Amino acid sequence: MNNSFHPEFLARYSPLFSEKEFTTFLEYCDKPLRKALRVNTLRISLENFTKRAENNWWKLQKIPYVDTGFFIDRDDKSIPLGKSIEYFSWLFYIQETSSMIPPMVLKPQKWDIVLDVSAAPWSKTTQMSIMMNNAWLVIGNDIVPTRIKALKTNINYQWIIWAATSKLDWRDFWRYFTETFDKILLDAPCSWEWTMRKDEVKWSLSIIKELSSLQKRLINSALQALKIGGTLVYSTCTMTPEEDEIILDHVKKQFWENIIIEKWQLPELQSTEWITEWLWESLDPECQNGQKIWPHINDTEWFFIAKIKKVWPTNTDTQKEYFQRKNEEKIVKGKELKILLSQIKKRFWIEPFYFSDYLIIKKWDIYQIRTKQSNAFSSFPNIQNIWIPFWEDNNNTFNLDFYSSQTFWQYATKNRIVFQDKKQAESFIKWEDIILSNNEIWESTQWQIIVYYDNLALWSSLLQKWWKLKNQVPREHIKN
């Protein structure tokens, strides 16, 4: 890559290392990253995933400090990892190693209400939902509509139904959700120095100054949205003190008796304290509890992670009033629910009791499914997509939505097609036409079916004239 490091970058940080260590550090900044992935344990166990990897001749190395993470190498790279059948079925998610660490420090658990303040690019929201085993609620927030759409798509693909998205200004989030969340992850927008291991970075002090001001407002807002006794993890992918230790020093001065910056540690991960003062100004001693993760020590990206516990109210303003959104939906129950579930059972032999933990909502002619817990947030401003598309009523013709087929596929025992040929499955996920033989459709009595290969549900599809199989996979899911 041969990065051309900004002279001021070198002048700023070289005095903080020995000459030898700084040289090694810069060498690692020039090395390509090791490819890593995170297994979706909602879909497959770690044991079964490693067996599939062996069958594909993938070389996996367990990441010791991430429960479901692996480094991966492959001799045969003719098929990109993102075009494998396993990726298409969302058995794993390609994610950089250091990015997996903040959720491991936060440790969201079953029954927590969790906020991912700046959720794009979505990986940590889904990671936390999987860590919680799809229990209770994770809200992924971003202010850019296109990112929200991508986040929701990602949530649906990964079989995550206990998650929601919101589109609120990060800095004002606390005004609507004062002391609401048990756990908050604030992976703050930062100067992205870690991307030196991927791309050349445009580094400047003016960008750092601007981002530092934003980060202070974000962490103030997030701490006020956190419940008393709750935990907030603040992380950045930069080594800049103005975006790391200085932010901690700021919140200690702002909320000095209300918060504790706790020490944290993960097995076999070498993280280090760094500075106690910056630009001749001493920092609060607790700032040392924030840890740096270095590329030349762990062969990862660099990251800064701090764990903050709220022990006393931090509110400095009153909660903002808001108008509830107009309710254009209704909860399906009684006779209507019984008819709907009977249609599902008739079509796929999925028993009604599998849906007992969920609410089915009807909005116009579209049925949606959501958790009972997430429904409590449905009237809040800018809360979006707290449901998975479920069922469509088109002139009394019911079609199971492809996202729901991914979520409830394991319970279906009827109207399934099982590919025996890997090439046939690979053609299917490339959106190529598949012509079926009679013996392949003997289980199917309806036009909408679920397609399987090697015990994996690939997607729901439609049978057309002459037994042509029409793939219902959304185009954006086909990786170029």
* 231 belongs to a structural domain: yes
* 461 belongs to a structural domain: yes
* 167 belongs to a structural domain: yes
**Domain limits at 55?**
32-94
The answer on 476 and 391 residing in a single domain is no
The answer on 386 and 460 residing in a single domain is no
Residue spans of the chain under pLDDT 70: 1-4, 156-157, 159, 161-163, 192-202, 315-327, 379-382, 384-389, 391-407, 438-447, 462-466, 471-480
Task: Phi first, then psi: give them for residue 94, nearest 5 degrees.
Answer: -80, 120
The answer on 296 and 147 residing in a single domain is yes
pLDDT of residue 319: 54
The answer on 169 and 157 residing in a single domain is yes
Angle at 187 between CA 183 and CA 191, to 5 degrees: 165
The last residue of one of the domains, among 275, 310, 345, is: 310
Rounded CA gap, 415 and 443, in Å?
6
The last residue of one of the domains, among 287, 310, 333, is: 310
* CATH code of the domain covering residue 330: 3.10.450.720
Helix (H, G, I), strand (E, B) or coil at 77: coil
CB 286 within 8 A of CB 248: yes
The answer on 423 and 335 residing in a single domain is no
32 CB burial (10 A radius; 0-12, 13-18, 19+): exposed
Q: Give buried/exposed letters for 41-63 (b at 16+ CB in 10 A, else e).
A: bbbbeeeebbebbeeeebebeeb
The answer on 281 and 233 residing in a single domain is yes
Angle at 135 between CA 129 and CA 139, to 5 degrees: 50
**DSSP classification of residue 276:** S
Tokens representing 412?
Answer: 């279906």
Helix (H, G, I), strand (E, B) or coil at 84: coil
The answer on 293 and 339 residing in a single domain is no
- pLDDT, tens digit, for every residue of 325-336? 556 778 889 998
- pLDDT, tens digit, for every residue of 256-277? 889 999 999 998 999 888 888 8
Query: Taking Cα atoms as reference points, which of 18, 84, 8 lies closest to residue 296?
Result: 18
The answer on 276 and 131 residing in a single domain is yes
pLDDT of residue 49: 96
* 26 belongs to a structural domain: no
The answer on 278 and 130 residing in a single domain is yes
* 239 belongs to a structural domain: yes
Rounded CA gap, 201 and 1, in Å?
12
CA distances for 221 relative to 238, 254, 470, angstroms: 21, 12, 48
Taking each continuous run of H as one helix and of E as one strand, the counts in the chain are: 14, 26
The answer on 175 and 195 residing in a single domain is yes
* 9 belongs to a structural domain: no
pLDDT of residue 138: 83
CB 199 within 8 A of CB 410: no
* CATH code of the domain covering residue 125: 3.40.50.150
pLDDT of residue 465: 64
The answer on 475 and 456 residing in a single domain is yes
Tokens representing 42?
Answer: 């909602």
Q: Give buried/exposed letters for 241-276 (b at 16+ CB in 10 A, else e).
A: bbbbbbbbbbbbeebeebbebeebebeebebeebee
pLDDT of residue 477: 55
Give Cα 241 distance to the centre of its chain.
Answer: 27
Q: Point out the residues that are catalytic.
A: 237
Tally of domains within the chain: 4
* 2 belongs to a structural domain: no
Helix (H, G, I), strand (E, B) or coil at 480: coil
Query: Taking Cα atoms as reference points, which of 46, 41, 69, 73 lies closest to residue 57?
Result: 73
The last residue of one of the domains, among 253, 275, 310, is: 310
* 14 belongs to a structural domain: no
The answer on 474 and 385 residing in a single domain is no
